[in-house]
Amino acid sequence: MKPQSNVTVSYPNLPELTFRGMFLGMLITVIFTASNVYLGLKVGLTFSSSIPAAVISMAILRFFQNSNILENNMVQTQASAAGTLSAIIFILPGLLMLGYWQGFPFWQTLLLCACGGSLGVLFTIPLRRAMVVNSDLPYPEGRAAAEILKVGSEIRREEAAGEDTSKTETGMKDIVGGTVLAALFSLCSNGFHVLSSEFSYWIHLGKTATTQLPMGFSMALLGAGYLIGITSGIAILVGTLFAWVVCVPYLTSVLTPADGQTAAAFAQSIWAQKVRFIGAGCIGIAAIWTLIRLAKPVIDGIKMSINAFRSNDTDEKKLLHHTDIDMSPKSIAIVFVAVLLGLIVTFYSFVGAAGLPTTVTVIYIVVGILVAMLMGFFVAAACGYMAGLIGTSASPISGIGILGIIVSSLVVLAIGSSFGVFDTPEGTQFATALAIFITSVIVSVAAISNDNLQDLKTGYIVGATPWKQQVALILGSVIGAVAIAPVLNLLYQAYGFTGALPRASMDPTQALAAPQATLMTTIAQGIFSASLDWNYIIFGVGVGIVAIIVDLLLTKNSKALALPPLAVGMGIYLPPTLEIPLVIGSVMGWLVHQHLKSRAAKRSPGHEDEDVEACNHRGVLFASGLIVGESLMGVIIALLIVVSVTSGGSENPLALVGKDFQNTADMLGLVCFVGMIIIFVRHVFITKFTPGK
């Protein structure tokens, strides 16, 4: 066990949970939730709201004389629920696509999201010691948020004390420099569209085999890659190469495209409809393996918490640092009972409306809640680990959703077959809807647990109190849940979803794609109609087992080598244009570190570690700035899009060029991305080395 002295700073007497902080967090949560829901339904991606919330909090609360770093941390903790709980859109619209719902009932949607989010917080409490305190997982976004909070707080403290702020201001300049550059790039690419954010060069291998050379230009993912390290980056690259050098070329050579389908479109559909299931199977078995490996430290952590709260000895209590206090068992029990009651109410209202016999209704309610909770704890551990490995923004929540919809559908199928539920089309429709309903809870748990451990890492670095962060995130989950149903209904009435239009006169080409919800609904229907192809999922499980064995062999024979199987699965599952910047950032970070060590040994003998650490710190701050800049600009652009489309305007209100500019934008995007890498590397080497003796 690592001692608590590893906490970077400690402020035991500063106020953390304040009314003004919680009110500010509530406003940010509502605004970010609306933006995230729209973007997720439109393109299938959401943005992480933790870092933008931290920056906004620092900007606003600095006008209050007694604001502090821990109060700012609580605001970002609460508001982070907006970037994660909105992942419910990856599954819930499926109920409208089925025709089972005609809108989003406010109370059912609220309880579903609030209960799932609160469970995500509770399930990660016993994971905190194992995965945050006693783990070397990088948590890139958690570290970035902590660096931003620390630098901002230190400048304010030095100003108030009349001290020299030059050193701290240098750190702030590192963050601001990265923020400005990333924000400008994001504005030019996602706003003005004069730069590409990604492009793919398609390669034809022989007569029919096709693959792509992908390239993504995300500054935030470049920064995150720098923070995650070379091990995770290489594992992601292995998964990407397996998907696009092995699987896609082979499948495109043996399968037949649809009439008129281009080779690129065919290869993309093969990856989306077949290869991603290999990735989901790999993620599933790797997640089970991760849970097994975490079992002992998690159990030890639970025992430590229980013993700490049972102890009545004053001296023992003094030994318990405030940064190591989770919610008390009594508080956890109260929240859990409230969540359980909420789930009973919402499941009863959903299942009871189907008009099934009382026995079947009760069985479905009980089993549905049990599946949601048991599967929820499993995905909490898996998602928490994935967030620690590569960050929240790139964590494949939809992949976890696929596993959730498969498990939920199989359970509903087993029960329904025993009671004749599938004898009528209405019964089959209800069973599909129930599987989606159960999975919605699982996705909510996955989303919040994915974010909660990232927030706890930030809090651990800045010296926050874990139980207060856990309370703040539960509050954020409830507030975000209140906002989700009205926003979903507004967007549904304005645009509709693919295959689900509220009015016959609406233009189907303007409908929101909701790609993940469409995929998961299709999976559920495939299971109930016995048409789902299991071969790819089973093959993915085999790939995951191979990755686990390779990782065990590498870690057994070398301290420096590893192949995290979850990262391999994510490499197969995630879009390659998201993965390439992560890989480039991780490799860049490793090369920079190796060159720094060599350079420091020549220029400052006896001070190598000190100088390498100084340069690395600048790199961490600049990488954090890249994440901040793209995240903030993403929020601004999202808000402008929502305002524009809801008032009848364009969904690209800032665009300066048309589609005919795409080739030029691709080249300009590549040049600017390479330029950013050069600027990044040069910035790290600016630090002056200690003169050798």
In tens, the pLDDT along 465-521 reads: 888 888 888 888 888 888 888 878 877 776 777 777 776 766 676 666 666 777 788
Cα–Cα distance, 424 to 403 (Å, whole number): 27
So what's the pLDDT on residue 138?
78
Mean pLDDT of 27-34: 76
Q: Which residues contact 545 (CB under 8 A, 6 or more apart)?
A: 285
Q: Which residues contact 531 (CB under 8 A, 6 or more apart)?
A: none
Cα–Cα distance, 673 to 680 (Å, whole number): 11
Q: How many CA atoms lie within 13 A of 531 on its CB side?
A: 6
So what's the pLDDT on residue 242?
95
Residue 689 reports pLDDT greater than 80 = no
Mean pLDDT of 72-82: 79
Q: Flag the least confident range among 56-60, 191-195, 326-330.
A: 56-60
So what's the pLDDT on residue 665?
92
Cα–Cα distance, 219 to 629 (Å, whole number): 8
Q: How far apart are the first and last CA of the chain?
A: 38
Q: Residue 279 has which token pair?
A: 């990735």
Residue 315 reports pLDDT greater than 60 = no
Cα–Cα distance, 390 to 221 (Å, whole number): 9
How far does Cα 126 stand from its chain's mean position? 20
Mean pLDDT of 398-427: 84
So what's the pLDDT on residue 370?
94
Q: Flag the least confident range among 164-173, 263-272, 352-361, 579-588.
A: 164-173
Q: CB pairs under 8 A, 24+ apart, for 261-269?
A: 263/202, 263/204, 263/208, 263/210, 264/200, 264/202, 264/210, 264/212, 266/210, 267/202, 267/210, 267/211, 267/212
In tens, the pLDDT along 196-252 reads: 988 888 888 777 778 888 888 888 888 878 877 788 889 989 999 999 999 999 999
Q: Residue 131 has which token pair?
A: 């995965």
Residue 316 reports pLDDT greater than 60 = no
In tens, the pLDDT along 535-589 reads: 998 999 999 999 999 999 988 887 778 888 888 988 898 788 888 988 999 899 8
So what's the pLDDT on residue 207?
72
Distances (CA, A) of 574 to 45, 361, 384, 447, 622: 11, 38, 17, 16, 26
So what's the pLDDT on residue 539?
94
Q: How many CA atoms lie within 13 A of 278 on its CB side?
A: 22
Higher pLDDT, 362 or 2: 362
**Residues forming beta bridges with residue 500, ordered by sequence position:** 497
Question: Where do the structural domains in the chain lie, given as residue ranges?
Answer: 10-125+326-532
SS3 18: coil
Q: What is the DSSP letter of 89?
A: G
